[in-house]
């Protein structure tokens, strides 16, 4: 149907150009709010009426008269109707909708995908410091980042996944100290363990049992390896530097296990410490000073971030000589730009909202050619976890929060991904563990996967060559349920494009649930394996195409499409 839509759009563009030169740019289709009104709609007449000083409804009538004389509209359109002040609703002939079956079966897993556009982009996500297991919030970020990467990959982008973390800051020092105490035989609650709530160091001490596991393996002089580092422990409980390096490698390994269970892989790991050792931070500060975008006040160095829309100027270098956290962020994003990534997306928690203005201000002040609005941000809220009707707030593994691995073990990788992607990132979300394991229609991932498995069962019962169904005569697909399913299959490519543009993988979950419901309705309405061979092959072709689109959409989310359930 993509070809059909393209032909109709070209005809509409030509008709608008005849009405007014340049008006062809207004040629566009949308879906009618009420399905019964038609399959496509255009508001072009309403947009043109004011500049042409014409009645919009009369202009719509004139436009329809012209369109009815064109070959594409005569071939594919059943009716053109005008509604309200000038909406044009277009009802397609069944033959136009039936085109999608062959397109899906021929293009297979590439259906909905765009050709390589030659552009590179970088998506930074998870980026958790190696101080503990990944929590559920990291899980939401991993699901979002991976799905957004898949969406842009489907649109022809060359997508690069990056994990950025601090391996040498205050938190890492606290991790080393916590592990050191455990290695010496102490534990939370002992007299030497910080417990004063007014002491910032006490608040940041790591009390989870995983610290004891790190200490035990350190004393055993074990070697740990992760995707970006490997280290062998010295075994000396007083060797704080060795403890620090071992603990970081240990927890990076643990993070890799979490991400592997979640089927997320990265192309690169970028260390915050490298920004200092490579001189990037110093070079960035010097560049900002040379550009006249800084000033000294109260013993600190400030960035004139208000020049770029920030609500106040920001401290770059504190009185003690250390840099505030957004300075390495600016240096890091200059690195992204210099590595050739003209488009960059950062997936972060909503607590990072305040950094957006100052990072962008720093990038503009650095004057290295970076456009305004770089990088893009997708901010997400945290996740509540409910199990057996009660909120779960702690984990035996972490001590103070639910880990991503807990959630996967309680449910499944597929359920966690689908559920965490089923709402807009910036909306609060409650993960219901009991619902995620339920085998009924209330469980959205089960509902979608069951639709796919149901189709696979039908195709297996038939036992024929699925690949040959692309040659089937689909003209018998005339029923209301079949036409609805055909139209929904045809919407998949546009849905993917819109979801990528809006950083909205939740749109894919909505579409898949709608497609599953549409298929279930079709299955209940029409028997597929009938005696009439032509009718049977047409219906098999339709359901095989539906299974393919379900697989494609689930793959974007990183969710499997089981053939049996």
Q: Residue 33 has what pLDDT?
A: 80
Q: Residue 16 has what pLDDT?
A: 92
Written as six digits, the tokens of 539 are: 């219906």
What mean pLDDT is predicted for residues 461-481? 96
pLDDT digits (tens, 9 = 90+) for 116-139: 999 999 999 999 999 988 999 999
Q: For residues 275 and 281, is the Cβ–Cβ distance under 8 A?
A: yes
Q: Residue 396 has what pLDDT?
A: 60
Question: DSSP code of 516?
Answer: H
Residue 71 predicted with pLDDT over 80: yes
Distance CA 413, CA 560 (A): 9
The separation between CA 4 and the C-alpha centre of its own chain, rounded to angstroms, equals 30
Beginning with the edge strand found earlier in the chain, give each strand of the sheet holding 77-83 in spatial order. Answer: 40-42, 87-92, 77-83
Q: Residues near 521 by Cβ (< 8 Å), separated by ≥ 6?
A: 481, 484
Question: DSSP code of 466?
Answer: G
Written as six digits, the tokens of 333 are: 């994003």
Q: First vs last Cα of the chain: how many Å apart?
A: 32
> Where residue 398 falls among pLDDT bands split at 50, 70, 90?
low
CB atoms within 10 A of CB 225: 14
What mean pLDDT is predicted for residues 313-332? 94
> Where residue 399 falls among pLDDT bands split at 50, 70, 90?
low
**Residue 256, SS3?**
helix
Q: Residue 168 has what pLDDT?
A: 82
Distance CA 389, CA 114 (A): 44
Written as six digits, the tokens of 547 are: 């299974």
Distance CA 433, CA 402 (A): 12
pLDDT digits (tens, 9 = 90+) for 266-277: 999 999 999 999
Placement of tokens 């036992």 in the chain? 463
> Where residue 41 falls among pLDDT bands split at 50, 70, 90?
very high
Q: For residues 365 and 145, is the Cβ–Cβ distance under 8 A?
A: no
Q: Residue 200 has what pLDDT?
A: 52
Q: For residues 145 and 415, is the Cβ–Cβ distance under 8 A?
A: no
Distance CA 508, CA 139 (A): 18
What mean pLDDT is predicted for residues 494-514? 97
Q: Residue 207 has what pLDDT?
A: 84
Of all residues in the chain, the percent with pLDDT exceeding 70 is 97
What mean pLDDT is predicted for residues 511-538? 97
Q: Residue 170 has what pLDDT?
A: 84
CA distances 182 to 173, 203, 397, Å, are: 14, 17, 16
> Where residue 195 falls among pLDDT bands split at 50, 70, 90?
low
Placement of tokens 């880990």 in the chain? 403
What mean pLDDT is predicted for residues 254-275? 95
Return left, alpha or beta for 185; rule: phi > 0 is left, psi -120 to 50 is alpha, else beta: left
- Domains annotated on the chain, with CATH: 2-92 (3.30.1360.70), 278-380 (3.40.50.620), 441-557 (1.10.730.10)
Beta strands in 264-308 (DSSP E): 268-271, 294-297, 300-303
Q: Residue 190 has what pLDDT?
A: 86
Q: Residues near 465 by Cβ (< 8 Å), separated by ≥ 6?
A: none
CA distances 365 to 288, 291, 305, 346, 362, Å, are: 6, 7, 8, 20, 5
Q: Residue 51 has what pLDDT?
A: 87
Least confident of 181-190, 236-245, 397-406: 397-406
Of all residues in the chain, the percent with pLDDT exceeding 90 is 84
What is the pLDDT of the chain when averaged over all its residues?
Answer: 93
Distance CA 354, CA 398 (A): 28
Q: Dihedral sign, CA of 55, 56, 61, 62?
A: positive
Q: Residue 171 has what pLDDT?
A: 87
Q: Residue 189 has what pLDDT?
A: 82
Placement of tokens 């973390």 in the chain? 165
* Number of continuous H segments (helices) and E segments (strands) in the chain: 22, 16
pLDDT digits (tens, 9 = 90+) for 350-360: 988 889 999 99
Residue 86 predicted with pLDDT over 70: yes
Written as six digits, the tokens of 485 are: 């399913």
CA distances 18 to 22, 45, 73, 273, Å, are: 9, 13, 17, 62
What mean pLDDT is predicted for residues 483-510? 97
Q: What does the radius of gyration of the chain's CA atoms come to, in whole angstroms?
A: 29
Q: Which of 245, 225, 249, 226 is nearest to 236 (CA)?
A: 245
What mean pLDDT is predicted for residues 69-95? 93
Residue 478 predicted with pLDDT over 90: yes
pLDDT digits (tens, 9 = 90+) for 278-297: 999 999 999 999 999 999 99
Q: Residue 397 has what pLDDT?
A: 61
Residue 389 predicted with pLDDT over 80: yes
């Amino acid at each position: 149907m993509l070809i059909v839509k393209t032909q109709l759009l070209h005809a509409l563009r030509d008709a608008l150009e005849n009405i007014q030169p340049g008006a062809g740019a207004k040629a566009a289709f949308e879906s009618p709010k009420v399905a019964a009104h038609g399959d496509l709609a255009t508001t072009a007449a309403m947009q043109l009426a004011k500049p042409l000083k014409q009645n919009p409804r009369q202009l719509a009538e004139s436009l329809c008269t012209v369109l009815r004389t064109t070959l594409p509209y005569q071939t594919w359109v059943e009716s053109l109707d005008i509604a309200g002040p000038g909406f044009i609703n277009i009802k397609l002939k069944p033959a136009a909708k039936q085109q999608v079956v062959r397109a899906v079966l021929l293009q297979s897993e590439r259906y909905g995908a765009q050709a390589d556009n030659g552009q590179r982009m970088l998506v930074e996500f998870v980026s958790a410091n190696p101080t503990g297991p990944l929590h559920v919030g990291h899980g939401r970020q991993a699901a979002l980042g991976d799905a957004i990467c898949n969406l842009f990959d489907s649109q022809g982008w060359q997508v690069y996944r990056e994990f950025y973390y601090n391996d040498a800051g205050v938190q890492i020092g606290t991790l080393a100290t916590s592990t050191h105490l455990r290695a010496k035989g102490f534990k939370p609650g002992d007299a030497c363990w910080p417990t004063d709530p007014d002491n910032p160091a006490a608040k940041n001490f790591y009390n989870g049992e995983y610290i004891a596991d790190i200490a035990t393996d350190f004393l055993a002089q074990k070697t740990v390896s992760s995707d970006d580092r490997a280290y062998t422990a010295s075994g000396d409980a007083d060797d704080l530097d060795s403890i620090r390096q071992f603990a970081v490698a240990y927890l990076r390994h643990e993070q890799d296990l979490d991400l592997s269970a979640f089927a997320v892989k990265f192309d690169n790991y970028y260390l915050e410490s490298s920004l200092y050792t490579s001189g990037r931070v110093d070079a960035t500060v010097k560049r900002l000073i040379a550009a006249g975008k800084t000033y000294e006040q109260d013993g600190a160095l400030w960035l004139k971030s208000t020049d770029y829309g920030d609500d106040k100027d920001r401290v770059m270098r504190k009185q003690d000589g250390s840099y505030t956290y957004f300075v390495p962020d600016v240096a890091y994003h200059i690195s992204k730009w210099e590595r050739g990534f003209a488009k960059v997306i950062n997936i972060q928690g909503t607590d990072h909202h305040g950094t957006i203005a100052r990072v962008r201000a720093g990038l503009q002040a650095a004057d290295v050619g970076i456009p305004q609005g770089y990088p893009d941000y997708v901010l997400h809220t945290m996740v509540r976890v409910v199990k057996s009707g009660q909120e779960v707030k702690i984990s035996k593994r972490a001590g103070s929060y639910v880990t991503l691995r807990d959630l996967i073990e309680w449910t499944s990788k597929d359920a966690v991904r689908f559920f965490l992607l089923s709402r807009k990132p910036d909306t609060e979300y409650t993960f219901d563990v009991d619902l995620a394991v339920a085998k009924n229609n209330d469980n959205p991932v089960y509902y979608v996967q069951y639709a796919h498995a149901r189709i696979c069962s039908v195709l297996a019962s038939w036992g024929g060559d699925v690949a040959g169904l692309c040659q089937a005569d689909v003209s018998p697909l005339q029923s209301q349920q079949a036409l609805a399913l055909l139209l929904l299959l045809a919407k998949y490519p546009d849905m993917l494009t819109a979801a990528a543009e809006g950083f909205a993988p939740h749109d894919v979950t909505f579409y898949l649930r709608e497609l599953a419901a549409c298929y279930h309705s079709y299955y209940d309405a029409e028997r597929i394996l009938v005696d009439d061979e032509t009718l049977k092959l047409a219906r098999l072709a339709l359901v095989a195409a539906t299974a393919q689109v379900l697989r494609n959409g689930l793959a974007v989310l990183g969710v499997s499409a089981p053939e049996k359930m």
